[in-house]
């Protein structure tokens, strides 16, 4: 006699819900990680900008930038 095991419909539903939760958790984790990386990059840029603004015009000239070029130099934006 061949006995076929049947799963309860609620078990399939629970498994489906778990799969959705896992996908949502992965999606959220990826976006939180991307946000954290962007926030860290911005924090470093702001620190560099603050440090450069603290330098004298001569020191800035020695490294090849003017006070008006500080943000572009730090953020890598071409004029």
- State residue 40's pLDDT score: 97
Q: How many domains does the chain have?
A: 1
> Would you give the distance in Å from CA 42 to the centre of its chain?
10
Please check whether residue 38 lies inside any domain of the structure: yes
Could you tell me if residue 4 is inside a domain? no
Per-residue pLDDT, 15: 85
The total number of residues written for the chain in this structure: 79
- Sequence-ordered alpha helix ranges (H) in 1-79: 9-53, 57-62, 70-75
Q: Is residue 55 part of a domain?
A: yes
Q: Is residue 22 part of a domain?
A: yes
Give CA–CA dist 18/26, Å, rounded. Answer: 12
The per-residue pLDDT of the chain, averaged, comes to 88
In terms of pTM, does the model score above 0.85?
no
Q: Which band of pLDDT confidence, cut at 50, 70 and 90, is reported for residue 79?
A: very low
Range of the domain at 35: 9-75
- Each residue's pLDDT tens digit, 5-53: 566 666 688 888 889 999 999 999 999 999 999 999 999 999 999 999 9
Q: Which residues contact 78 (CB under 8 A, 6 or more apart)?
A: 72
Assigned domain for 3 exists: no
């Amino acid at each position: 006699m061949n006995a076929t095991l049947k799963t309860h419909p609620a078990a399939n539903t629970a498994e489906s819900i778990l799969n959705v939760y896992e996908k949502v958790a992965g999606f959220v984790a990826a976006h939180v990680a991307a946000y954290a990386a962007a926030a860290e990059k911005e924090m470093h840029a702001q620190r560099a900008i603050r440090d450069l603004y603290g330098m004298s015009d001569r020191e800035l000239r020695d490294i090849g930038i003017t006070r008006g070029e500080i943000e572009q130099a730090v953020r890598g934006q071409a004029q």
